[in-house]
Structure 1
Amino acid sequence: MTLFNIAFTNVRKNFSQFSMYLGSLILSVLIYFTFVSLAYTKSIGVIFEKWGIGGQGVFMAAAIVLILFVAFFVFYSSNYFTRSRKRELGLYSLLGLRKDQIGRIIFYENLMMHVMAVVSGIVIGVFFSKFFSMLLFRIMDLSINGGFTFSVSAILSTLFVFGLILIVTTANGYWIVYRHSMVELFKADVREKNPAKGSLTLSIVGLLLIGFGYFLATRSIEDSIFWTEDFFFSSMLFVLFGVILGTWLVLRFLFPYVVYKLFLRKSFFYNGTNILTLTWLRYRMKKTAGALTMIAGLSATTLTIIGALSSIYTNIISFAENSNPNSYQTAWSTQTQREKIYDVIRESKSHTLVYHDTADVYKGKVIDKVDEDLPAVDQRMDEFSVMGLSDYNRLARKLDNDSQQIKHLEDGEAIFLSPIGRFENKKRAHLWMKDPYTVTFKNNPTKYSLRIKDIYHHAVFNTDMVYSALVVNDRLYQEISQKTMPKHIDIFQVTNEDRAEVLDQKIQQIVGGDPYDYNRELSSFYSNYHMMSTLIGVIMYIGMFMGIVFFAATGSIIYFKQITEAVDERPRFEVLQKLGMSQKEVRTVIAKQVLPVFLIPLILGICHSVAAMIGLSVNILYSVGAPVVVSTTIYTVFFIVYYFVCVNTYTKMVSSGDD
């Protein structure tokens, strides 16, 4: 029998043992191939070029990062999988095979796994390419029908990347064979001779490191002395490595300390199957700490990536809607241009004119002295666009978007219209309302003192054309208008404004300028909204893929760790079952043994992620609550499902089948 036949027979007869490794490879190929296929898709390239956001460059840069994570994921899975088969490799040596022959068997097995994974991953990727492209378009909120994608460049890229990974994993298999003698291959991983008792002192040190890392991470970069230019790099390193070291100390010393204390409590120790669980945990703590630290870190990274990007996506999409309340705004449009705009709207079969209105605003400059030493977030506004109370109330009623009406304003009082989120407004309200502003207008010698009375969380003008709008009473507005040149705004509100690409181009041609570029004379809801939704949608989509890879890596580490331990623990459970332990009791013991591997890193990962998200909300002034809760809940549910899968697999591997 040839070495290839031995490898083929081994894979065929032990396919259930190879299935998880094969599943990890298929998932890796699917993720990478799908991601790269989208980068090569022409329709997506056209969209990126149209909006001028360089999306394909972002895709390709992310693909490089994705290669590194996928390579780590596959290498880690392969390493654990090969190590779990050390006894099998030792048997080959006992039967007379040379180490180079054993290495070739590993190569043939890896080759079969990679060929099946690459073929399956590409086929599944092509089959689901329409779904993934539609998902991307949905995230970008574009009405485009995604088709099936078959990219030769993506296939060649996938073959090249996983060919390199095959070489690396095979070399690792050779290294394991050549590094260990036949006796060492037959020996299972030895438990610690001296069970870990833990250390309360080192546990406290670990908790303090984590706590101080959280403290630094949740400080404002603009305000905290720890994030000044002199300490920024050192603070960043401490947050990263201090929290990792603290996590390891907690898992290495606090967890064993708690287990040891439970071990000493005889009423707990001799209760049911606790004697088996605690004994097993005591003799596995040292080896478990490193893996649990990695699982906690990957969980925190996954939750932070998904939570941060979903929060930013939600807030930016909300801002894009709130800051563009009008379908179209034109500045200084002539009567001829207005008539042409009317005509193209009337000719459109998909859109009808809801209303047309006009208003004049006056741009004012704040002349108050500014303390340039203050951080940017603590600076007050330096200019405003002033509008009248009557104009505001009229436009607010027409918008019908829960805009607040203003009943009365005294001279010198003003309402500030801010479409930015309530969270940021709450943070900056005291700066905006603290003192009156001294405002001057071009060619107007009068200085006006305006005090912001209240802040409304919406706008009646698109903010790319009329930014920082102040509403003042009509008497003051009339006084300003008599001495100042106005900025005349025409507003055209149409139906289906979020699907108005064709109409957008026609109106842009009338006004002049690039349909997908900034234009001082035209503000379009469609262009402004989709420029932001496309860019943030691409970033969100990339983050989603990264999150899947991190979750898969986390699951891979846990699964192969449990499989390795199941192989080592099979003789112990066989003895216990011969002594009368039922399969139900075996499952109970395994469930208790496996639970800390899932529960403790999950709790630590969630805590690390929450600290990171609090820091993000403090520094970008966006509310992150709802997206973080949703993403954390989904991640936890998947983690729980994975826990039960591992418990079932572990139980089947150690169970003799006799109840």
Structure 2
Amino acid sequence: MTLFNIAFTNMRKNFGQFSMYLGSLILSVLIYFTFVSLAYTKSIGVIFEKWEIGGQGVFMAAAIVLILFVAFFVFYSSNYFTRSRKRELGLYSLLGLRKSQIGRIIFYENLMMHVMAVVSGIVIGVFFSKFFSMLLFWIMDLSIDSGFTFSVSAMLSTMLVFGIILVVTTANGYWIVYRYSMVELFKADVREKNPAKGSLTLSIVGVCLIGFGYFLATRPVEDSIFWTDNFFFSSMLFILFGVILGTWLVLRFLFPYIVYKLFLRKSFFYSGTNILTLTWLRYRMKKTAGTLTMIAVLSATTLTIIGTLSSFYTNIISFAESSNPNSYQTAWSTETEREEILEAIRESKLHTLVYHEAVDVYKGEVIDKVDESVPYRDQRMSQFSVMGLSDYNRLATKLDNDSKRIKYLADGEAIFLSPVGGFENKQRADLWMKDPYTVTFKNNPVQYSLEIKAIYNHEVFNMDMVSSTLIVSDRIYQEISQKTMPKHIDIFQVTNEDRAEVLDHRIQKIIGGNPYMYNVSMSSFYSNYHRMSTLIGVILYIGMFIGIVFFAATGSIIYFKQITEAVDEKPRFEVLQKLGMSQKEVRSVIAKQVLPVFLIPLILGICHSVAALIGLSVNLMYSVGAPVMISTTIYTVFFIVYYFVCVNTYTKMVASGDD
């Protein structure tokens, strides 16, 4: 029998043992191939080129990051999988095979698994390409037909990447074979001679490190002494390394300390199967602390990436809508251009004109002395666009978008419209309203003292054309208009504005300019909204893929570690079953042993990510609640699924099957 036949027969007869590792490989190939395929898809490339957002470059840069994580994930899984088969490799040596021959068997097994994984992953990726394309277009809020795609470049890239991974994992297998003698291969991992008792002092140090890291992460950058220019970098490093070190100390000393105290409580220790669970935990905690720390950090990273990007996407899309209340705005358009725009809307089959309005606004400069010694974020406004009270109420009534109507404004009073008001902190809002502004207008000798009485978090103009709008009384507005050159704004509101690409092109030809780029003479809801949704959608989509890889790596690290321990623990459970323990009781013991390995890193990971996201919310002033709850719930559900799969596999490996 050839070495290849030995490898093939071993895989065929022990396919259950190989299945989890093969599944990890297939998932890795599927993720990478699908991701790279999208980068090479022509329709997506056209979108990136059209909006000039450099999306393909972002995709390829993310692909490099994805390669690193996939390589780490596969290597780690392969390492644990090979180590779990040490006795099998020792048996080969006992039967007379040289180490070079054992290494070749490992190579053939790896080769077959990688070939099956690459073929399966690519085939599944082709069938899932339509789904993932539709998902990307849905995230970008674009109505584009997507079909099945197959990219030769993506296939060759996948084969190259996983060919390199095959070489690395095979070299690791050779290293394990040559590192251990035959006797060492047959030995189980040495259990700790002195069971861990933990340390209350070091546990407190760990909790304090984590707590202070949370404190720093949730401080507002603008106000905290810890985030000044002198301490900014140091604070970032402390949060990163302090929280990781604190996590390791908690897992290395606090958890063993709790287990030790439970061990001393005889009533608990001798209750049911606790004697087995606590004994196992006491003798495994030292070696497990590093792995659990890695799992907690990976969980925190996964949840933070997904939570941040989903929250960012939700808030940016909301901002894109609120900052572009009008379908179209044109500035300084002629009577001929207005008639041509109205004619284009009338000829459109998908859109009808809701209303057409015209408003004059006036650009004013603030002449109050600016304190340039303070950061820009702490300075007051330097210019405004001024409109009249009657014009504002007329547009607010037309928009019907929860805009507040204003009953009365005295001379010298003003309302400030700020669609980013929800993002601003209270300190800056108070700064805007603290003292009146002295405002002047071009070719107007009169200076106006205007005091902001309230800030409304909405707009009546598209922000890219008219921003920092002040609403003043009609008398002041009329006085300004008599001596100042206006900026004339035409507003065209149409139905189905989010699907107005064709109409956009036609109106843009009338006004002049690139249909998808910023135009000083025209503002379009469709262009402004989809430029933002496309860019942030791509970023969210990439983050989802990286998050999936992180999650798969997290679950697989736990799974393979537990399966490796199952091989070592099998003799112990065989003895227990001979003494009368039923398979149900074996499963109960295993479930209790495995639970802390899943539960504790999950709780720590969620806590770390929540602290990071609270800090993000505090400093960026946007809500993270709903997206974070959804992503954390989904992550927890899949983590629970991993837990039950691990318990089932562990039980099958150590139980004899006799009930």
**Contact (CA 8 Å) 1:223, 1:375: kept in 2 or not?**
no
Amino acid of the residue matched to residue 163 of structure 2? G
2:515 corresponding residue in structure 1: 515
Amino acid of the residue matched to residue 457 of structure 2? H
1:253 corresponding residue in structure 2: 253
* CA positional deviation for 1:224: 2.9
**Contact (CA 8 Å) 2:69, 2:549: kept in 1 or not?**
yes
Secondary structure of the equivalent of 1:424?
A: coil
> Which stretch shows the higher mean deviation, 292-301 or 617-626?
617-626
Tell me the percent identity.
87
Cα offsets for 1:185-222 (capped at 9, x unmatched): 00011110100000011111111111122222222334
* CA positional deviation for 1:426: 4.5
Secondary structure of the equivalent of 2:302?
A: helix
Cα offsets for 1:159-181 (capped at 9, x unmatched): 00000000000000000000000
**Contact (CA 8 Å) 2:346, 2:353: kept in 1 or not?**
yes
Distance in 2 between the 1:17 and 1:367 partners?
76
> Which stretch shows the higher mean deviation, 574-583 or 32-41?
574-583
Distance in 2 between the 1:426 and 1:149 partners?
50
**Contact (CA 8 Å) 1:573, 1:654: kept in 2 or not?**
yes
Secondary structure of the equivalent of 2:424?
A: helix
Distance in 1 between the 2:150 and 2:311 partners?
33
**Contact (CA 8 Å) 2:423, 2:620: kept in 1 or not?**
no
2:303 corresponding residue in structure 1: 303
1:136 corresponding residue in structure 2: 136
Amino acid of the residue matched to residue 553 of structure 1? A
2:275 corresponding residue in structure 1: 275
Cα offsets for 1:300-319 (capped at 9, x unmatched): 00000000001111110000
1:548 corresponding residue in structure 2: 548
**Contact (CA 8 Å) 2:365, 2:441: kept in 1 or not?**
yes
Cα offsets for 1:586-635 (capped at 9, x unmatched): 11111111111111101110111111112212222222122111111111
Cα offsets for 1:496-553 (capped at 9, x unmatched): 1000001001000000111111111100000000000000000000000000000000
Distance in 1 between the 2:324 and 2:119 partners?
47
Amino acid of the residue matched to residue 10 of structure 1? N
Q: Which blocks of at least 5 consecutive residues in structure 1 are unaligned?
A: none
2:379 corresponding residue in structure 1: 379
Secondary structure of the equivalent of 1:387?
A: strand
Distance in 2 between the 1:410 and 1:541 partners?
50
* CA positional deviation for 1:455: 1.5
Cα offsets for 1:313-362 (capped at 9, x unmatched): 11100000000000000001100001100111111111111110011111
Secondary structure of the equivalent of 2:178?
A: helix
**Contact (CA 8 Å) 1:222, 1:375: kept in 2 or not?**
no
2:537 corresponding residue in structure 1: 537
2:238 corresponding residue in structure 1: 238
1:338 aligns with 2:325: no
* CA positional deviation for 1:429: 2.1
> Which stretch shows the higher mean deviation, 280-289 or 561-570?
561-570
1:66 aligns with 2:66: yes
Cα offsets for 1:398-439 (capped at 9, x unmatched): 111121111111111111111126353646322222222221
Distance in 1 between the 2:250 and 2:549 partners?
26
Amino acid of the residue matched to residue 160 of structure 1? L
Secondary structure of the equivalent of 2:87?
A: helix
**Contact (CA 8 Å) 2:421, 2:456: kept in 1 or not?**
no
2:120 corresponding residue in structure 1: 120
Distance in 2 between the 1:223 and 1:493 partners?
42
Secondary structure of the equivalent of 1:197?
A: coil
Secondary structure of the equivalent of 1:455?
A: strand
Distance in 1 between the 2:431 and 2:17 partners?
64
* CA positional deviation for 1:657: 0.9
2:195 corresponding residue in structure 1: 195
* CA positional deviation for 1:369: 1.8
Distance in 1 between the 2:421 and 2:158 partners?
42
1:558 corresponding residue in structure 2: 558
Amino acid of the residue matched to residue 466 of structure 2? V
* Aligned 1:445-456 pairs, distance under 5 A: 445-456=445-456
Secondary structure of the equivalent of 1:490?
A: strand
Amino acid of the residue matched to residue 434 of structure 1? K
Distance in 2 between the 1:417 and 1:640 partners?
47
2:441 corresponding residue in structure 1: 441
Amino acid of the residue matched to residue 643 of structure 1? Y
1:488 corresponding residue in structure 2: 488
Amino acid of the residue matched to residue 609 of structure 1? S
* Aligned 1:139-158 pairs, distance under 5 A: 139-158=139-158
C-alpha root-mean-square deviation of aligned residues, in Å?
1.1
Distance in 2 between the 1:369 and 1:582 partners?
84
Amino acid of the residue matched to residue 129 of structure 1? S
User: Scaled by the length of structure 2, what TM-score is found?
Assistant: 0.99
* CA positional deviation for 1:113: 0.4
Cα offsets for 1:66-93 (capped at 9, x unmatched): 0000000000000000000000000000
* CA positional deviation for 1:367: 1.6
Amino acid of the residue matched to residue 547 of structure 2? G
User: Scaled by the length of structure 1, what TM-score is found?
Assistant: 0.99
Cα offsets for 1:131-171 (capped at 9, x unmatched): 10111011000110111111000000000000000000000
Distance in 2 between the 1:465 and 1:155 partners?
46
1:467 corresponding residue in structure 2: 467
Secondary structure of the equivalent of 1:75?
A: helix
* Aligned 1:168-187 pairs, distance under 5 A: 168-187=168-187
> Which stretch shows the higher mean deviation, 614-623 or 649-658?
614-623
Distance in 2 between the 1:318 and 1:531 partners?
14
Amino acid of the residue matched to residue 602 of structure 2? L
Cα offsets for 1:559-608 (capped at 9, x unmatched): 10110111111111111112111222111111111111111101110111
Distance in 1 between the 2:164 and 2:99 partners?
23
Distance in 2 between the 1:373 and 1:215 partners?
29
1:55 corresponding residue in structure 2: 55
2:284 corresponding residue in structure 1: 284
Secondary structure of the equivalent of 1:126?
A: helix
Instruction: Evaluate the alpha carbon distance shift between residue 517 and residue 643 of structure 1 in structure 2; reply closer, same or farther with a 3 A threshold.
Output: same
Amino acid of the residue matched to residue 49 of structure 2? E
1:28 aligns with 2:10: no
Distance in 2 between the 1:83 and 1:218 partners?
42
Cα offsets for 1:254-297 (capped at 9, x unmatched): 00000001111111111111111111100000011000000000
Amino acid of the residue matched to residue 280 of structure 2? W
1:393 corresponding residue in structure 2: 393
Secondary structure of the equivalent of 1:454?
A: strand
**Contact (CA 8 Å) 2:421, 2:455: kept in 1 or not?**
no
Distance in 2 between the 1:636 and 1:552 partners?
13
Secondary structure of the equivalent of 2:647?
A: helix
* Aligned 1:341-356 pairs, distance under 5 A: 341-356=341-356
Secondary structure of the equivalent of 1:493?
A: strand
Amino acid of the residue matched to residue 642 of structure 1? Y
**Contact (CA 8 Å) 2:327, 2:492: kept in 1 or not?**
yes
> Which stretch shows the higher mean deviation, 347-356 or 434-443?
434-443
**Contact (CA 8 Å) 2:380, 2:431: kept in 1 or not?**
yes
> Which stretch shows the higher mean deviation, 266-275 or 522-531?
266-275
Distance in 1 between the 2:353 and 2:426 partners?
36
Aligned residues: 659
1:224 corresponding residue in structure 2: 224
Distance in 1 between the 2:378 and 2:303 partners?
31
1:327 corresponding residue in structure 2: 327
* Aligned 1:610-649 pairs, distance under 5 A: 610-649=610-649
1:80 corresponding residue in structure 2: 80
Q: Which blocks of at least 5 consecutive residues in structure 2 are unaligned?
A: none
Distance in 2 between the 1:163 and 1:603 partners?
37
1:211 corresponding residue in structure 2: 211
Amino acid of the residue matched to residue 161 of structure 1? V
* CA positional deviation for 1:377: 2.7
Amino acid of the residue matched to residue 656 of structure 2? S
1:584 aligns with 2:592: no
Secondary structure of the equivalent of 1:422?
A: coil
Secondary structure of the equivalent of 2:143?
A: coil
